[in-house]
């Protein structure tokens, strides 16, 4: 995974994690990356300078960043689970029904394949993808 500093066309700065630069470019082209402040999908990478530090420091920083990221992702998941309706595998159909006014307007979450998600975006249905990490077992 690689972390990029990102900017939207409105000047907001935020960060994002991607498997690689090509994946960022693909998602940005499809407007699948949105500014968390304003929702703008015109997103670009900021100029970044490489950080050169000792190997042990890098490992410690990566562990700390990974722990921070896991904590943030768990907080997002908690918020979604408490405030959104889980529609499971019916997500694509329910998102369409809401978008076209055939179902009550509400926040939902669920499952969609890559193809289903791309179809929704192409239709103009306002959807977003969240990294959904597994809960620790125990």
- Determine the pLDDT at residue 3: 86
pTM: 0.55
CB neighbours of 48 closer than 8 A, spacing ≥ 6?
Answer: 4, 5
Q: What is the pLDDT of residues 19-46, one digit of tens each?
A: 888 999 999 999 999 999 999 999 999 8
For the stretch 3-19, pLDDT in tens is 889 999 999 999 999 98
To 10 degrees, the CA torsion angle through 51, 56, 59, 64? -90
> b/e per residue, 45-61, with b = 16+ CB within 10 A?
eeeeeeeeeeeeeeeee
DSSP-derived pairing of the beta strands 13-18 and 2-8:
antiparallel
């Amino acid at each position: 995974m690689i972390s990029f500093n990102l900017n939207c066309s409105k000047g907001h700065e935020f960060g994002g994690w991607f498997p690689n630069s090509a994946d960022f470019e693909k998602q940005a082209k499809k407007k699948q990356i949105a500014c968390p402040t304003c929702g703008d999908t015109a997103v670009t990478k900021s100029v970044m300078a490489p950080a050169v530090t000792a190997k042990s420091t890098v490992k410690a920083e990566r562990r700390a960043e990974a722990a921070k990221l896991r904590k943030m992702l768990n907080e997002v998941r908690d918020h979604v689970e408490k405030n959104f309706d889980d529609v499971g595998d019916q997500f694509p159909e329910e998102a369409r029904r809401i978008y076209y006014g055939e179902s009550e307007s509400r926040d939902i979450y669920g499952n969609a394949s890559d193809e289903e998600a791309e179809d929704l975006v192409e239709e103009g249905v306002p959807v977003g993808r969240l990294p959904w990490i597994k809960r620790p077992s125990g």
